Amino acid sequence: MRWLMKITREMMGCLREGDLIEFALDGLPAEERVKAEAHLKDCKHCQAQLRAVMEMQEGLAWRVRQESASPDLPQRMLRTVLQAKNPKP
């Protein structure tokens, strides 16, 4: 059943997890960001996913502040996750 939900979201033009992470990190190119913003206005599913990504990012940032690590650690960690989930050919 999970695969059916994934196919349905893809047919609706939903954002991939990696794109949501890049959106949260302000890493999408301008054209893709505009498309993502337009989709997010109407898609409750992607809005919920984006909130989850941003909560995770904030949680990582809070933990980093507690550990006094470098300020860009949450972004580097999320980029590492993104690269692992979407390896380039």
What tens-digit pLDDT sequence spans the chain (89 residues)? 454 445 555 556 788 888 888 998 888 899 999 999 999 999 998 999 999 988 888 877 666 555 566 778 778 888 888 887 766 66
Specify the long-range contacts of residues 52-55, CB closer than 8 Å, at least 24 apart: 53/17, 53/20, 53/21, 53/23, 53/24, 54/24
State how far the Cα of 67 lies from the Cα of 21, in Å rounded to an integer: 23
Give the count of domains, the chain: 1
State how far the Cα of 75 lies from the Cα of 40, in Å rounded to an integer: 22
The whole domain housing 51 covers 2-85
